Structure 1
Amino acid sequence: MAAGRRRFGSVRKRESGRYQVRYPGPDGRQRSAPDTFARKTDADRYLTMIEAQMMRGEWIDPERAKVTLGDYADRWITQRPGLRPRTVALYRWTLGKHIAPYLGGVDLGRLDTALIREWRANLLGNGVSVSMAAKAYRLLRAVLTTAVNEDELLRKNPCRIPGADQEKPAERPTLSMGQALKLAELMEDRYRALVLVTTFACLRWGEVSALQRQDVDADSGLIRVRQTYTEIRGAGLVLGPPKSRAGLRTVSVPAAILPALRTHLAAYVDDDPTALVFTGPNGRPIWRGNLNQLIGWSAAVGKLGVPGLHFHDLRHTGNTLAARTGASTRELMARMGHDSPQAAMIYQHATAEADRAIAQAVSDAVKAERRKAKKAAASKPEKKAKDKEAGKNRA
C-alpha cells in the first residue's frame, strides 16, 4: 500500500486498514511505532509528538525499553545499593506474588497508567488488602523511577494513580502508664524486664532481641543500640546493623525500671560480654514468630483487657509516653532512632491533641466556676432586699 509523504517519517496504510508509522532516529536508523493506528490523523499526531521529543532532546529509543518488567525488576532488586537482607527478601516476595504474575512479561515500553490501574484493580478485586496493594505499588513505582531517571528507558513513570501508595492502616492501640506496668507484672520473671525495656526505652523488636550484656550499663542506666536481628526466610536470624544510621544510638533507661533490669541480668544473663540479654529458656535468641507462645503474650494481654495488642505496640506506647514529656522533635528522633522527623511529629501531634483536650476541659471548668460566681453575685442584692423587708416587718 502507498505510504503518506511527510517532512518527518512516513505513514503507511496496511491491508488491514490500520496505519503503520516509521521514522528515522537520531542515528539514522528507521524505527516503527510499537502499535498501528486506526486513523491516519492519529498516526500523524504520533509522528508530530516523536519529532517534538527529538527536537527537545527528550526522545527515548523504544528498542531500549524492550525488556520485560519482570527481568528489569529482578535486576533492580539485585543491584540496588544499601538494601538490607530482609528488604531484599520482602521485595522479591512482593514482586513474585503481586507484580510478576500480572505485569512481569510486559515490556517496559508498553506499560502505561491505564495498565497499572487495571493491575491494581485486579489485586484489590482478588482480595489483596489495600495495605499490601500499596506496598506493591510503591515497589513498582520505585523500579520504574529508576527506569526513567537513571537508565533513561522510559520518558515518564506510568505509576500516576493518586492515593495508590497510601496504606491508611488502622490506628494501633497504646497502653497507659499503669497498663504497661501491669502487663510486665503479668509476665513470667524471665520476660518481665523484656517488656519494661522495650516499652520505656522505645526499642524495636530486632533491637531489643539483639542486645548483649556489653550493650547494657545498668548502673548508669544506658543501653547502646548497635545491632539488630532480622528474620530472613530461608536464612534464619541474621545479625546486622540497625535499619538506618539513626538507629545506632544510646538510650537512657528510666531509673524506675533499672532494678528490674539489674535483677534480670543477675538471674538470666551470663557474664560473657557477648551474652544475649533476652533469650528463651534454652539460652538461644527469641524468634519473633514464636514470641507470643513463648512468653504467654496472648494470655497476658487478655487479662489486661487489650486482646488486640501486638508486641510492637510496646514501642508505640513508649514513644507516646516520651512525646508527652514535652521533648522536642529532634530529641524524640534521637530516642526512637529515626532519620526523618515524620514519625516523631506524629507522636507530638497526638500529644498536642491530648493537650488541647486538657486545655478545653480546664476552660470548661473555668467557665463553670465563673457562672457559679456570677450567679452567687446576682443573688446577693436580692437577699439584701429580702432581709431589709423582713426587718421592717419585725419593727
Structure 2
Amino acid sequence: MANSKGTRRRFGAIRQLRSGRFQIRYPDPETGLPRNGEETYPTKTDAEVALTLIEADIKRGKWVDPDAGQVNFGGFADTWLKERGLADRTLERYEGVLRLYIRPTFGVGTVAEVTAAKVRSWRTGLLDAEVGPATVAKSYRVLRAILYTAVDDGLIERNPCRIKGAAAEDSAERPVLTVEEVYAVAEVIEPRYRALVLMAAFSTLRFGEFAALRRRDVDLEKGIVRVRQAQAELQTGKLKLKRPKSEAGVRPVAFPASIVKELAEHLRWFGESGSAGRVFVGPRGGLLRRSNFHDVWTTALRKSGVDWTRALGETGAESIRFHDLRHTGNTLAADTGASTRELMHRMGHSTMDAALRYQHMRGERDLLIAGGMEKAIAKARGTGRAKRATKPKPPEPSGA
C-alpha cells in the first residue's frame, strides 16, 4: 500500500511507497486520466527527474504510450506484410524469412519485448547455427523494417535493431566470364537458346525480362530492345507478368551489331509469330521457365570446356549461374568507359536518390556502349579465325 502522503507538483505527483521507493503519477496526454509510472525509483530526486523527462516528451510530442508496445509481434508482422504492397516474388521471400528466421524467436512475444539485447542474441544464434551471412543480413533488414514501422506507429520509442553493419551483405564476388567463354557456352547450348545466352551477356537483361520480351519490343534496325514487362516465377510454379521491379527497369537497351544478326536468325527459327509473339519460348512452344532452363544451362556449361566451378571466397566451388552473364555484361560495359548512371540505365537499377532515378540517359551514349562491346567481341573472336555460322539449326520436326 502507498503512503498517504504525497508531494504535489505543477506536473504530476510523487508518493513514497511502504517499501521506501518512490512512485510517479501523471496525466495521460491522450485521455487526460491519471496514470502511474511504469517503474518506481530509489530516491525522490530520481522520481522528479523521471517526471521532468516525461513532461518534456509530452510537450515535444515525443511521448510514447508504454502500453502501446504490448501488441503481439507476430500479428503486427503479418499486418506489416499485407500493407507493404510487395511484388509476389518479394512477398514470398519476406514470408520465408519471417517464417524461418524471425518468428521462432519473436513471434509469440510483444513488440515491446523485442529489445536490443534480444536482437543481438538472435542474430548471433543464427550465425552460430551456420545460417548463411547473406540470409542473416536479409533477416535483420526485414526485422529492422518491421520495427521502424512500430516506431512510426508509436508502439515503441526507438528501434532496437542498432547493430552496426548487420544489414550489409558481405557476399562473395560472382564470377565474370570472358567474351570467349560466353561464346563457348553459346556454341554448345541447344540452338534455340544460343541468342538468349549472347543477349544475356551483351544486353544484361534479367531472365524474367527475356521471358516477357515480345517481337514488338525488338528493333533490329537500331539494335535495341525495350523492356516493358518481366515474368515472375513463384515458388508454386505460377507464372505472372508484371512491370519491372522499379521505374528504372522500364528502359531501352542497345546491344552489339553482331548480336543483331544472331537475334534476327533466332526470331526466324524460334520466335513466336506476330508483333505480340514472344521472342524466347520453351522447346515445345511453352513459356520460358527458369526452373526448366536450369538443366539446359548446366549441361551447356559442362560441354563448353569453361571452368564451370569457381572458388568464391570461403564458400568453396560454386557453379556459374545464368545470372552471372548479366554481371559479365555489366563489367564489360564498365570497361568501355560507361558512367555509373549509364550502367544503372542498362541494368535497370534504381537508386534512393530520386533525381537519379528519373533522369534518363541519352540513347546515343547507350549505342556507344554497345559499340564498345562489339569491339571487344571482334577482338576476342579474331578476324583471322574460322567463325561459326550464325544461323542456328532449324528445330527438329514435332514428335522426332
Q: TM-score range by the shorter chain?
A: 0.7 to 0.9
SS at match of 2:305: helix
SS at match of 1:224: strand
SS at match of 2:331: helix
Work out the CA distance in 2 between the residues paired with 1:105 and 1:233.
27
Work out the CA distance in 1 between the residues paired with 2:278 and 2:44.
72
- Tell me the residue number matched to 1:269: 271
- Tell me the residue number matched to 1:132: 135
Q: 1:13 offset after TM fit, Å?
A: 4.8
Deviations 1:279-316 (A, max 9, x none): 22111122222322134446437721132211110000
- Tell me the residue number matched to 2:93: 90
Distance 1:120 1:19, change over 3 A: farther
Q: 1:43 offset after TM fit, Å?
A: 7.1
- Tell me the residue number matched to 1:58: 62
- Tell me the residue number matched to 2:2: 2
Residue number among 333, 341, 344 corresponding to 1:322 in the alignment: 333
Work out the CA distance in 2 between the residues paired with 1:165 and 1:258.
42
- Tell me the residue number matched to 2:316: none
Partner AA of 1:159 in structure 2? C
The answer to whether the 8 A contact 2:205-2:326 is kept is yes
- Is 1:29 the equivalent of 2:50? no
- Tell me the residue number matched to 2:81: 77
Deviations 1:238-272 (A, max 9, x none): 11001110111111121011221111111111212
SS at match of 2:71: coil
The answer to whether the 8 A contact 1:14-1:20 is kept is no
Would you say how many aligned residue pairs link Structure 1 and Structure 2? 340
Work out the CA distance in 2 between the residues paired with 1:108 and 1:250.
45
Deviations 1:108-133 (A, max 9, x none): 23332112112212222223221111
What 5-or-longer segments of structure 2 have no aligned partner? Answer: 310-318, 358-400
SS at match of 2:276: coil
Work out the CA distance in 1 between the residues paired with 2:24 and 2:225.
68
Distance 1:207 1:109, change over 3 A: same
SS at match of 1:265: helix
- Tell me the residue number matched to 1:289: 291
Deviations 1:202-261 (A, max 9, x none): 111111121122212223311111000112233611110011101111111210112211
- Is 1:121 the equivalent of 2:124? yes
Distance 1:43 1:89, change over 3 A: farther
Distance 1:173 1:301, change over 3 A: farther
The answer to whether the 8 A contact 1:186-1:300 is kept is no
Whose Rg is larger? 1
SS at match of 1:65: helix
Q: 1:68 offset after TM fit, Å?
A: 1.5
Q: 1:22 offset after TM fit, Å?
A: 4.8
Q: 1:324 offset after TM fit, Å?
A: 0.8
SS at match of 1:238: strand
Distance 1:182 1:18, change over 3 A: farther
Q: 1:9 offset after TM fit, Å?
A: 4.3
SS at match of 1:168: coil
The answer to whether the 8 A contact 1:112-1:158 is kept is yes
Residue number among 326, 333, 341 corresponding to 2:344 in the alignment: 333
Q: 1:55 offset after TM fit, Å?
A: 3.7
Distance 1:106 1:341, change over 3 A: closer
Work out the CA distance in 2 between the residues paired with 1:323 and 1:331.
9
SS at match of 1:173: coil
Structure whose residues are more often helix by fraction: 1
TM-score for the superposition, normalised by structure 2: 0.77
The answer to whether the 8 A contact 2:188-2:304 is kept is no
- Tell me the residue number matched to 2:213: 211
- Bigger shift: residues 301-310 or 179-188: 301-310
Work out the CA distance in 1 between the residues paired with 2:299 and 2:275.
29
Q: 1:170 offset after TM fit, Å?
A: 0.3
Partner AA of 1:306 in structure 2? W
What 5-or-longer segments of structure 1 have no aligned partner? Answer: 345-395
Work out the CA distance in 1 between the residues paired with 2:175 and 2:18.
65
Distance 1:145 1:267, change over 3 A: same
Work out the CA distance in 2 between the residues paired with 1:296 and 1:159.
40
SS at match of 1:310: coil
Q: 1:161 offset after TM fit, Å?
A: 0.9
Residue number among 170, 173, 177 corresponding to 1:171 in the alignment: 173
Which fold has the larger relative contact order, with Cα–Cα distance below 8 Å and residues 6 or more apart in sequence?
Answer: 2
Work out the CA distance in 1 between the residues paired with 2:22 and 2:305.
73
SS at match of 1:144: helix
